[in-house]
């Protein structure tokens, strides 16, 4: 079995020093050859102790390849694109700054690309890990907002409607030379919760008939703090999602806009259809939040188009 020469794990971060510290501890506990991976921490203008924490890891783990990078242009897409430019290995895997992993996580990614040398792109499984009790209005259908991504326990190719999640996605470096980088008009910028930059990139790949693989053994755990377990946070995230949809459709054809509108309408119908079962199960808060979530997406979309 031929071995890839290595993976660059790009971790973009913004004012999450404590979580980042736990993330780096988790990754460095992995039982993987330190010569086959590097950790690139892209600091997107943090004002907390992020630089100090990363430099402490660099000093304390001299046998590992850890690099601190400062990206002055605000926005997750800018940070990710900087990571691509700085990465030294042929495979680039993007991780969030608030995750934990098992000790075989890095080896799982290495093994996948060793055994699938023609694969250019893949996504791993993401489990949600709550730091505080889960609110009574948080249904299973909203968990993807918090990073949950589970398509089962076997390797498969994503269909046309599914994509990897940004907190655990891997690419051959050459794919960015071929299809460009992440759209800097999309994605989070500081406290603005726009999204869809990775989805837009995956859509480019699918239009070019590029296979995208799901790798269940590359599982990580996305930690969710109490700030993201508020209705206000979900509202901001939904509005940001609606704004991102509008931005993506600005230069699209009428047919594309109609298709997307029909898709969102269908999702609203599904949400309405779930209202009765949740209500009958005495889970009215979950039912109401699903309706509000769809309403906020529409509000975000209209804030850009009107």
Q: pLDDT tens digit string along 160-207?
A: 889 999 999 999 999 999 999 998 887 555 444 445 678 889 989 999
Q: pLDDT tens digit string along 125-145?
A: 999 998 888 989 988 888 988
Please check the confidence at residue 92 and state whether its pLDDT lies above 80: yes
Model confidence at 44, pLDDT cuts 50, 70, 90, reads: very high
pLDDT for 196: 64
Please check the confidence at residue 3 and state whether its pLDDT lies above 70: no
Residue 85 CB-density burial (10 A; 0-12 exposed, 13-18 middle, 19+ buried): exposed
Among 135, 131, 197, which Cα is nearest to 167's?
197
Q: What is the pTM of this model?
A: 0.83
Please check the confidence at residue 64 and state whether its pLDDT lies above 70: yes
Cα distance between residue 189 and residue 197, in whole Å? 12
Cα distance between residue 176 and residue 172, in whole Å? 8
Average pLDDT over residues 283-305: 86
Average pLDDT over residues 222-229: 88
Please check the confidence at residue 249 and state whether its pLDDT lies above 80: no
Torsion angle defined by CA atoms of residues 214, 155, 94 and 264, in that order, rounded to the nearest 10 degrees:
10
Q: Please identify which residue in the block is written with the tokens 């808060």.
A: 285
pLDDT for 193: 43
Return the axis-axis angle of helices 284-305 and 254-280, rounded to nearest 10°.
160
Among 204, 220, 263, 5, which Cα is nearest to 102's?
220
pLDDT for 188: 59
Give me the chain's average pLDDT, please: 88
Q: pLDDT tens digit string along 268-292?
A: 676 666 767 777 777 888 888 888 8
Which range is least confidently modeled, 80-84, 138-142, 247-251, 286-290?
247-251
Class of domain 7-226: alpha beta
Q: pLDDT tens digit string along 254-263?
A: 766 666 666 6
Torsion angle defined by CA atoms of residues 183, 187, 191 and 192, in that order, rounded to the nearest 10 degrees:
90
- Tokens linked to 151: 């398509």
Among 141, 129, 244, which Cα is nearest to 192's?
244
Q: Where are the domains of the chain?
A: 7-226, 231-305
Please check the confidence at residue 218 and state whether its pLDDT lies above 60: yes
- Asked if residue 229 lies in contact with residue 134, where contact means CB atoms within 8 angstroms, the answer is yes
pLDDT for 192: 47
Q: Which residue has the higher pLDDT, 151 or 271?
A: 151
Please check the confidence at residue 23 and state whether its pLDDT lies above 50: yes
Average pLDDT over residues 10-25: 96
């Amino acid at each position: 079995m031929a071995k890839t020469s290595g993976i660059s794990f790009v971790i973009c971060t913004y004012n999450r020093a404590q979580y980042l510290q736990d993330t780096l501890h988790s990754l460095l506990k992995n039982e993987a050859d330190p010569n086959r991976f590097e950790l690139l921490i892209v600091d997107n203008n943090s004002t907390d102790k992020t630089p100090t924490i990363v430099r402490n890891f660099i000093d304390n783990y001299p046998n590992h390849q850890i690099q601190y990078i400062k990206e002055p242009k605000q926005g997750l897409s800018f940070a990710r694109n900087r990571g691509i430019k700085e990465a030294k290995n042929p495979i680039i895997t993007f991780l969030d700054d608030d995750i934990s992993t098992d000790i075989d996580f890095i080896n799982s990614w290495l093994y996948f690309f060793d055994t699938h040398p023609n694969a250019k792109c893949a996504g791993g499984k993401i489990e949600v890990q709550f730091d505080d009790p889960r609110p009574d209005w948080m249904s299973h259908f909203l968990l993807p907002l918090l990073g949950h991504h589970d398509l089962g326990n076997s390797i498969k190719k994503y269909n046309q409607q599914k994509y990897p999640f940004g907190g655990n996605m891997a690419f051959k470096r050459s794919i960015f030379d071929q299809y460009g980088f992440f759209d800097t008009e999309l994605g989070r910028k500081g406290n603005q919760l726009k999204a869809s930059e990775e989805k837009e990139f995956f859509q480019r790949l699918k239009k070019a008939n590029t296979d995208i693989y799901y790798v269940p053994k590359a599982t990580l755990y996305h930690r969710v703090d109490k700030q993201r377990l508020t209705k206000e946070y979900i509202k901001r995230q939904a509005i940001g999602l609606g704004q991102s949809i509008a931005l993506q459709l600005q230069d699209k054809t009428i047919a594309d806009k109609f298709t997307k509108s029909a898709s969102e309408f269908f999702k609203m119908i599904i949400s309405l259809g779930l209202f009765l079962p949740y209500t009958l199960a005495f889970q009215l808060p979950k039912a109401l939040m699903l309706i509000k979530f769809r309403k906020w997406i529409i509000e975000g979309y209209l804030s850009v188009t009107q």
